[in-house]
Amino acid sequence: QPLILLFPAICPPQSMASILPASNRSMRPDKNTYERKRSVYVKNPYLEGMDEDILYHLDLGTKTHNLPAMFGDVKFVCVGGSPNRMKAFAQFMHKELRLEGDGEDIEDICAGTDRYCMFKTGPVLSVSHGMGIPSISIMLHELIKLLHHAHCCDVTIIRIGTSGGIGIAPGSVVITDTAVDSFFKPRFEQVILDNVVTRSTELDKELANDLFNCSREIPNVPTLIGHTMCTYDFYEGQGRLDGALCSFSREKKLDYLKRAYRAGVRNIEMESTVFAAMCGLCGLRAAVVCVTLLDRLESDQINLSHDVLVEYQQRPQLLISNFIKKQLGLCDQMS
């Protein structure tokens, strides 16, 4: 049985009162008190004994970088597949938070590697994760260790991405209540050595509801809460008829997707189960918010114009930036 380390951290009060979530205002510590807060856990007994931890794919390390100084104030982490989209989100957050400068020259903290990119705008970190479970999993191992080494606490992490919808209008935004696998089960199966370890994929329901309430203030973007199915493949794995390989009929495809719909699935993507499992185990409040690019009951190919695609991809970003501003108590002054 591996050792499980759970250290509730004692975090100092924030110097910037405004970065306390609005819902925590009544709990704001006075200058001399220390509060017990939710820290970021690692569950690995070997980490403590390591002289240095190199976060290889992020090109960061505990000896080469002062991680608490660089990241200690992070309260929101937004992750998404594409480096360009995460840069655009960081630039958008920069403007929304009214930080100094125009944000156009925002620096990629992981510029020393081309695996992932990372941008920091005040208390908001934007990180790319690539496509699929293996890619996001590697990034999350290193990101979670980074947040832990930096002594971050009360961190909310949100995946913003794209997906295929089932039975809903393209352009809808789905806030995931539960991430399910290809069998519609709320589980993530990790092969560890030669064992299959099953992990829960529950997400933070309160956070999902808060995000949904926030979405009501954004006009013309249909938003709903539903299950999200996570697959290991975009083509056969999502029941597409247009891949290089296809070994099932149109009828079988539609039967599968309709069964998914009846099981509560409203969209399909490729990272949510491992994201939910890892963030849940490590003490991060996590949410998944994806726009749908098509209705899979109608088609398989994504044939949106460039402009429509760009506008759709901005929808989760707009919702999350509004949510973050609200949490920081910045909405009234800014909108």
For residues 228 and 322, which CB has a smaller minimum distance to ligand R2B in the complex? 228
Of 264-293, binders to ligand R2B (CB under 6 A) are 269-271
With CB under 6 A as the rule, give the number of residues binding ligand URA.
9
Residue 293 site contact among ligand R2B, ligand URA, none (CB < 5 to 8 Å, cut-off depends on kind): ligand URA
Cβ-closest position to ligand URA: 164
Of 247-306, binders to ligand URA (CB under 6 A) are 268-270, 293
Count of C-beta atoms within a 10 Å radius of residue 16 = 11
Residue 239 in contact with ligand R2B, rule: CB under 6 A = no
For residues 121 and 135, which CB has a smaller minimum distance to ligand R2B in the complex? 135
Residue 168 site contact among ligand R2B, ligand URA, none (CB < 5 to 8 Å, cut-off depends on kind): none
Residue closest to 159 by CA, chosen among 56, 76, 37, 92: 76
For residues 32 and 305, which CB has a smaller minimum distance to ligand URA in the complex? 305
| Backbone torsion region of residue 330, taken as left when φ is above 0, otherwise alpha when ψ lies between -120 and 50, otherwise beta | alpha
Residue 81 site contact among ligand R2B, ligand URA, none (CB < 5 to 8 Å, cut-off depends on kind): ligand R2B
- The correct pick among 39, 81, 165, 275 for binding ligand R2B (CB under 6 A) is 81
Query: In angstroms, rounded to a whole number, what is the distance separating the alpha carbons of residues 29 and 51?
Result: 34
Q: Identify the helix (H) or strand (E) that includes residue 255.
A: helix 250-262
- The correct pick among 39, 62, 135, 163 for binding ligand URA (CB under 6 A) is 163
Query: In angstroms, rounded to a whole number, what is the distance separating the alpha carbons of residues 124 and 77?
Result: 6
With CB under 6 A as the rule, give the number of residues binding ligand R2B.
9
What are the backbone angles phi and psi of residue 161, rounded to the nearest 5°? Answer: -160, -165
For residues 54 and 131, which CB has a smaller minimum distance to ligand R2B in the complex? 131
Residue 181 in contact with ligand URA, rule: CB under 6 A = no
Residue closest to 38 by CA, chosen among 143, 206, 154: 154
Closest distance to ligand URA from the beta carbon of 297 (Å):
12
Closest distance to ligand URA from the beta carbon of 237 (Å):
9
Query: In angstroms, rounded to a whole number, what is the distance separating the alpha carbons of residues 160 and 236?
Result: 24
Query: In angstroms, rounded to a whole number, what is the distance separating the alpha carbons of residues 186 and 263?
Result: 11
Residue 234 in contact with ligand R2B, rule: CB under 6 A = yes
Question: Measured between alpha carbons, how far is residue 238 from residues 165, 246, 251 in Å?
Answer: 11, 11, 14
For residues 81 and 122, which CB has a smaller minimum distance to ligand R2B in the complex? 81
Using DSSP, state whether 297 is helix, strand or coil: coil
The pair of three-digit structure tokens given for residue 91, joined into one six-digit string: 């630039």
- The correct pick among 162, 223, 238, 313 for binding ligand R2B (CB under 6 A) is 162
For residues 144 and 203, which CB has a smaller minimum distance to ligand URA in the complex? 203
Residue 268 site contact among ligand R2B, ligand URA, none (CB < 5 to 8 Å, cut-off depends on kind): ligand URA
> Cα 225–322–23 angle (5° rounding)?
85
Using DSSP, state whether 132 is helix, strand or coil: coil
Q: Identify the helix (H) or strand (E) that includes residue 17.
A: none
For residues 81 and 83, which CB has a smaller minimum distance to ligand R2B in the complex? 81
Query: In angstroms, rounded to a whole number, what is the distance separating the alpha carbons of residues 61 and 63?
Result: 6
Residue 232 in contact with ligand URA, rule: CB under 6 A = no
Residue 234 in contact with ligand URA, rule: CB under 6 A = yes
Cα–chain center distance at 56: 21
CB 199 within 8 A of CB 235: no
Residue 162 in contact with ligand URA, rule: CB under 6 A = yes
CB 184 within 8 A of CB 276: no
Which chain residues interact with ligand R2B by CB under 6 A? 81, 131, 161-163, 234, 269-271
Which chain residues interact with ligand URA by CB under 6 A? 162-164, 234, 238, 268-270, 293
